[in-house]
Chain A
């Protein structure tokens, strides 16, 4: 599903965000990306949904070569991904249901199917009763659930979550994390960038640790008996 081969990312000011990052993520996996601020987690996320392009190496996501992606292919790639952020990125002037429907409308989905699909994902994230509420009327955890519902509504094969619990209290964090686990149990690949090590330690999910732009630890290597991951 995802393949990073010797990926480098540097910026015009000379800053290096990724150095020789190599890893693969297969079907159905749940992967944590950990590391301090500036370690390169968000850069990997941005490369995954083609907000940035690699300076060197090869990034493949769902069969797309990010480095060689044409402008008109970017929307196609993004429709196969779901992305959630720490700051939710909801449209404040639309109720929850419209925020979710928006993701379907922009892809040109049939109008008669939209309402049912929105209801389904809002139910899945436990917010069917608050479909008319505006983001300002929802708690942080609920807003993140709306963002997750929006990310799920196109049935993505991969869900990217960049510090999804970063702005949430402990209870809301647990709820959102459990929701992501349930989504993964349904077969969706989840890549979650986080610096919440407590959350990481609660599970046996694969963890990739980054330091100064380099992959310094991949728990998949441990499991494979110190063999590099395929």
Chain B
């Protein structure tokens, strides 16, 4: 193990320029992937903001006893798809209308009787905001005897579904393409290192080194380069993120950066890329010679 580590560290010292080059290449490859990841998580975040607004409103018949409504809201809150249930009384509905619909303020002020019905507002859990689930819950609400009508903006929810699917597929395709490019670039970079040390590998074989012994330092070196490349790419991503957010004049003030576990995932991806790249390259080299 000591020899393995020594050989891996030595290779950094022997060819510092090539080592820096491979780390920065891995870093930039992961950076493009990271940038795409940043766009993806921010799109996802924006989509989540829209999804938060998915709401089913069940209008309640006038004269429904409060106890009936209380029991019903408890029932609805227990639905597995439901995150939050709120009862809005007739008076609350009127107050809200006066507050929010400014242009009709005068009309609402002069009313003798309140025309607005009471309602139960239901918000859905994350993952249950698609049109099919929302439609199913709306149907169940319609089943309550005191419910007059149920609304949830079917078309809007369907569009949201569509948007979610498109971003998912496009994200997956572009993400895979970026990852594939990163794998190829990293493989080529590591192959360069191996070619530079072909003579050393030939001598190792000559004196009876096993293939695993030869691979060891390269794998460790690849892993280390992948990790350093990952750190470098995260630095670049953070720099880019701050620059974009701070220079946008507040337009993108809500942009988010990777969470700790997402950063660890990028580092792990770098490590795996480095490891896989060296495994493939050194394996191919050992087969060729």
- A103 to chain B: which residues have CB within 8 Å? 207-208
Smallest Cβ distance from B146 to chain A, in angstroms? 79
- Asked if residues B210 and A75 are in contact (CB atoms below 8 Å), the reply is yes
Chain A 77-92 near chain B by CB (<8 Å), digits 1 or 0: 1110001000001110
Residue of A75, A107, A111, A154 contacting most chain B CB atoms (<10 Å): A75
Q: B207 is contacted by which of A72, A76, A78, A93 (Cβ under 8 Å)?
A: A78
Q: Does B3 contact A (CB under 8 A)?
A: yes
Residue of B2, B205, B209, B211 contacting most chain A CB atoms (<10 Å): B209
- Asked if residues B203 and A76 are in contact (CB atoms below 8 Å), the reply is no
Interface size on A, residues (CB 8 A): 23
Smallest Cβ distance from B185 to chain A, in angstroms? 27
Smallest Cβ distance from B9 to chain A, in angstroms? 13
- A79 to chain B: which residues have CB within 8 Å? 207-208
Q: Does A106 contact B (CB under 8 A)?
A: yes
Q: Does B206 contact A (CB under 8 A)?
A: yes
Chain B 25-41 near chain A by CB (<8 Å), digits 1 or 0: 00000000000000000
Residue of B199, B204, B207, B211 contacting most chain A CB atoms (<10 Å): B207
- Asked if residues B208 and A105 are in contact (CB atoms below 8 Å), the reply is no
- Asked if residues A107 and B206 are in contact (CB atoms below 8 Å), the reply is no
Smallest Cβ distance from B81 to chain A, in angstroms? 59
Chain A 48-91 near chain B by CB (<8 Å), digits 1 or 0: 01000000000000000000000110111111000100000111
- Asked if residues A107 and B200 are in contact (CB atoms below 8 Å), the reply is no
Given contacts A93-B14, A105-B3, A106-B213, contact A76 B202 (CB under 8 A): no
Q: A89 is contacted by which of B3, B206, B208, B209 (Cβ under 8 Å)?
A: B206
Q: B200 is contacted by which of A72, A91, A111, A154 (Cβ under 8 Å)?
A: A91
Q: Does A177 contact B (CB under 8 A)?
A: no
- Asked if residues B200 and A106 are in contact (CB atoms below 8 Å), the reply is no
Smallest Cβ distance from B207 to chain A, in angstroms? 4
Given contacts A91-B200, A105-B3, contact A49 B207 (CB under 8 A): no
- B204 to chain A: which residues have CB within 8 Å? 102, 106
- Asked if residues A75 and B206 are in contact (CB atoms below 8 Å), the reply is no
Smallest Cβ distance from A168 to chain B, in angstroms? 20
- A102 to chain B: which residues have CB within 8 Å? 203-204, 207
- Asked if residues B208 and A154 are in contact (CB atoms below 8 Å), the reply is yes
Q: Does A9 contact B (CB under 8 A)?
A: no
- Asked if residues A75 and B203 are in contact (CB atoms below 8 Å), the reply is no
Given contacts A89-B203, A91-B203, contact A106 B209 (CB under 8 A): yes
- B200 to chain A: which residues have CB within 8 Å? 91
Chain B 198-241 near chain A by CB (<8 Å), digits 1 or 0: 01101111111111010000000000000000000000000000
- Asked if residues B207 and A71 are in contact (CB atoms below 8 Å), the reply is no
- A105 to chain B: which residues have CB within 8 Å? 3
- B209 to chain A: which residues have CB within 8 Å? 75, 106-107
- Asked if residues A106 and B14 are in contact (CB atoms below 8 Å), the reply is no
- Asked if residues B208 and A106 are in contact (CB atoms below 8 Å), the reply is yes
Provide the bound-state CA to CA distance between A105 and B4, in Å.
10
Q: Does A206 contact B (CB under 8 A)?
A: no
Chain A to chain B contacts (Cβ below 8 Å), 7 pairs: A78-B205, A78-B206, A89-B203, A91-B199, A107-B208, A150-B207, A154-B208
Binding site for B on A (CB under 8 A): 49, 71-72, 74-79, 83, 89-91, 93, 102-103, 105-108, 111, 150, 154
* 6 pairs of A and B residues whose beta carbons are closest in the complex: A106-B209, A79-B208, A78-B208, A103-B207, A75-B208, A75-B210
Binding site for A on B (CB under 8 A): 2-3, 14, 199-200, 202-211, 213
